[in-house]
Amino acid sequence: MRVLIAYDGSKSAEAAIDDLVVAGLPSTGSAMVVSVAEVWLPPADSIDDTSEESSAYIESIIREHREKGERMLASASILAKHAATRVQAALRDWDVTSEATFGSPAWAILEAAESFNADLVIVGAQGHSVVSSFLLGSTSQTVLTEAKCSVRVARGKNELEPGLGRILIGFDGSKGASAAVAAVASRTWMRGTEVRLLTATEPSTPSSIGRFVTPIRKAFTETETIDEKWIAELADIALAKLRNKRVDARLHLCPGNPKDVLVHEAQVWGADAIFVGANAMGGRLARMLLGSTASAVAARAHCSVEVVRAHEQSKASNE
C-alpha cells in the first residue's frame, strides 16, 4: 500500500498523523510526507536571462522573491522531515520518505499523489469550529474532490485509546459502497473490532395531492419494502466478507437523510471512522463528481472520514 500524507505543521496535520495508528493500515507499505511552500519560485536562470534593458530594480525584486521562496521551501523541508519522523514511529516497518515542494497546496499535493502512485491520500480536516463543521478547509476540499485515489480526512483524537475500534460504513448497494466495504476488509483490524453497515432509509413525505391518492402511497410503500429486502441481500454478501476478517459486522437501517444519519449515528455510537464510497448515494453523475453525501459527511463528521475510490472508478473518470 502506498500512502501520501499532507503536512503543514498545523494541529489538524498533527492529528492526521495521530490517526494513522487507528486507520487499520497494513504492517508494511510505503508512505511519503509532503509539505508545500505556498509560493511561486522564479526559474533559477530568470535573472541571467533578463535583457540588457532590464533595470537593476527588477532584477533585485526577482532575486529577493526567489530568496524568500527558497527560505520558505527550506522551512517546508524541515516540516516534512519532522512529520516523517513521527510517521515512522507510528508505522515502524514502513518505508517512509519526505518531500518539500512549492505552489498551490492542493494542486501540489494532487500532483505528488499522482507521481507517487498513491493508493490513499491523508489530509487534516483543518479544524472543527462552527464554520468548519459545514466546510472543509479549501485545500482538503480540493484534494477530496479532485484526487484520483481514495482520500482520508483525518481527525485524530486527543487521547488515543488502544483496543477495539468502531467503523461505520455508508451502505446503499452502490459500487461506491462495495468499494468502501472492500477497503475496510483489506485493512488490518484487531479481533473484535465492530463494523456497522449503515443504510439510511429516508422516508418519503407525501405532497398535498399524495395525501388523497391512496393507490400511489400504497405503491410507494411497497417499493420501499422491496428496496430494503434488496439492501439486506447485498449486505449479507458484504457482512460475510467483513466477518472473514474477524470483525463483528452488522447491518443497521436508519430512517433519515444519509448526509445527516451517517454523521449523527457515528457520533452517538462513538465511531473511530466513517468509510463511504466516492459515489455512495451520489447520483448519476457520481462517476465524474464527488457524491454530495460523501462530501457532506467528510465536512461534518466528528471522526475521520475515508472517501473510497475503487481503481476501476478512477480509470473510468479519466476516460
Among 9, 229, 204, CA closest to 124: 9
Region 11-15: mean pLDDT is 91
Residue 89 pLDDT exceeds 50: yes
Amino acid identity, residue 319? E
Cα separation, 102 vs 100, whole angstroms: 7
**Residues 6 or more apart in contact with residue 43 via CB below 8 angstroms:** 49
Q: How many CA atoms lie within 13 A of 111 on its CB side?
A: 12
234-272 tens-digit pLDDT: 999 999 999 998 899 999 999 998 999 999 999 999 999
**How confident is the model at residue 280, as a pLDDT?**
44
Among 90, 92, 109, CA closest to 101: 109
- Secondary structure of residue 259 in the 3-state scheme: helix
Enumerate the β-bridge partners of residue 2: 30
**CA 283, 288, 289 angle in degrees (round to 5)?**
60
For the chain, the farthest-separated pair of C-alpha atoms sits apart, in whole angstroms, at: 86
Domains for the chain: give ranges and CATH numbers.
Answer: 1-160 (3.40.50.620), 163-319 (3.40.50.620)
Chain mean pLDDT for the chain: 80
Q: Which three cell numbers stand for residue 161?
A: 485509546
**Per-residue confidence at 203, pLDDT binned at 50, 70, 90?**
low
Query: Where do runs of H (alpha helix) occur along 91-153?
Result: 105-116, 138-146
Q: What is the pTM of this model?
A: 0.80
Spacing of C-alpha 315 from chain mean position: 18
**Per-residue confidence at 95, pLDDT binned at 50, 70, 90?**
very high
Out of 156-160, 180-184, 203-207, 245-249, least confident range: 203-207
